[in-house]
Amino acid sequence: MGPFVYADVLDYKNLRELVVNNRITWLVHYSALLSVVGEANVALARKINITGLHNVLDLALESCLRLFVPSTIGAFGPSSPRDPAPDLCVQRPRTIYGVSKVHGELMGEYLHHKYGLDFRCLRYPGVISANTQTGGGTTDYAVQIFHDALSTGHHDCYLRADTRLPMMHVGDCHRATVEFMQAPECQLSLRTYNIDAMSFTPEEVATEIRKHLPHLKVTYNPDSVRQTIADSWPVRFDDSNARRDWGWKSTYGLEELVSDMLSSIRDKRTNAGLPVS
Ligand SMILES: NC(=O)C1=CN([C@@H]2O[C@H](COP(=O)(O)OP(=O)(O)OC[C@H]3O[C@@H](n4cnc5c(N)ncnc54)[C@H](O)[C@@H]3O)[C@@H](O)[C@H]2O)C=CC1
Ligand SMILES: CC(=O)[C@H](N)C(=O)O
């Protein structure tokens, strides 16, 4: 609805012009390659997720911007506590995506403590939305299963049926981000917080979808790259600090998420003249 321009995070000069010409005061930096595409193109992931982030950090510092950068469940690794993963613990991720996100958390916090940069970071669970295409992540199945349920009635899952991961409806994710950005600095005891909503397995989400679409068939063909990544991530997040400091509370559980995804995708298919299974 507002002004919209394309920008390359690797083009510092252009980013700077955009910030100055549009009198920007808050920067929300979402550009990144996700976990699976990052492993498929490590050099590009390094460029976008690390060099791009450095451009944004420099710009935020130079122009005194409030800066939000999302992190992820992928910032943890096999040696982190998994159930639940607390805010502060060992972080040794085994993907370039995770490494770049830990780097972002640490750089942002360093610049905050050294130069007063208003850096804010939330570790998102897998985000589930009916409005966007999946971006090449390990949690993508949890979006694709809804599209498949309403189109062919069959989803071929690349994870094992019992793979449990933290997930969140995009509505909660947006609200958390806005509320966190609006929180007075004096309320923040951390600069990087976990936020939690629900955790489920492919089997559990399929069972919930079958309450609406009993014919849904799910087959399981675990892909070794994605399964290894998923097995190294937390199964649940401890978000008690976010709840205590700035009042975070999720509103969508699995039941609400499934109802909302099915009705949104059904409406979109109907409006586009596509058949609904
Ligand atoms: N989707 C999810 O489940 C989660 C996402 N996040 C984080 O949220 C952010 C957004 O994720 P998604 O929207 O899901 O990913 P996505 O892959 O759908 O979107 C990433 C965007 O980055 C853009 N991009 C790539 N190279 C660029 C460049 N050189 N300059 C400017 N833009 C560039 C792409 O065009 C794309 O629109 C990422 O930082 C991701 O790490 C964190 C946890 C979970
Ligand atoms: C959880 C994420 O960060 C993302 N969706 C991915 O799976 O890579």
> pLDDT tens track of the chain, all 277 residues?
788 999 999 999 999 999 999 999 999 999 999 999 999 999 999 999 999 999 999 999 999 999 999 999 999 999 999 999 999 999 999 999 999 999 999 999 999 999 999 999 999 999 999 999 898 999 999 999 999 999 999 999 999 999 999 999 999 999 999 999 999 999 999 999 999 999 999 999 999 999 999 999 999 999 999 999 999 999 999 999 999 999 999 999 999 999 999 999 999 999 999 988 8
Q: Is the Cβ atom of 159 under 6 angstroms away from ligand 1? A: no
Q: Which ligand gives the minimal distance to the CA of 53? A: 1
Query: CA–CA separation, 272 vs 248, rounded Å?
Result: 36
* Per-residue pLDDT, 127: 98
Contact yes or no for 79/92 (Cβ under 8 A): yes
Which of 71, 140, 158, 195 has most ligand 2 atoms within 8 Å of CB, for mutation? 140
Beta bridge partners of 121: 192
Q: Is the Cβ atom of 126 under 6 angstroms away from ligand 2? A: yes
Alpha helices in the chain (DSSP H): 12-21, 35-40, 42-45, 52-62, 96-115, 141-151, 170-182, 202-210, 224-231, 240-246, 254-271
Q: Is the Cβ atom of 137 under 6 angstroms away from ligand 2? A: yes
Q: Is the Cβ atom of 9 under 6 angstroms away from ligand 1? A: yes
Q: Fold for domain 12-271?
A: Rossmann fold (3.40.50)
Say which of 12, 97, 141, 220 is annotated catalytic: 97
* Per-residue pLDDT, 56: 98
Catalytic site includes residue 220 = no
Contact yes or no for 130/268 (Cβ under 8 A): yes
Determine the distance separating the centroid of ligand 2 and the alpha carbon of 20, expressed in angstroms.
32
Amino acid at the residue 238: D
Q: How far is CA 9 from the centre of its chain?
A: 19
DSSP 186: G
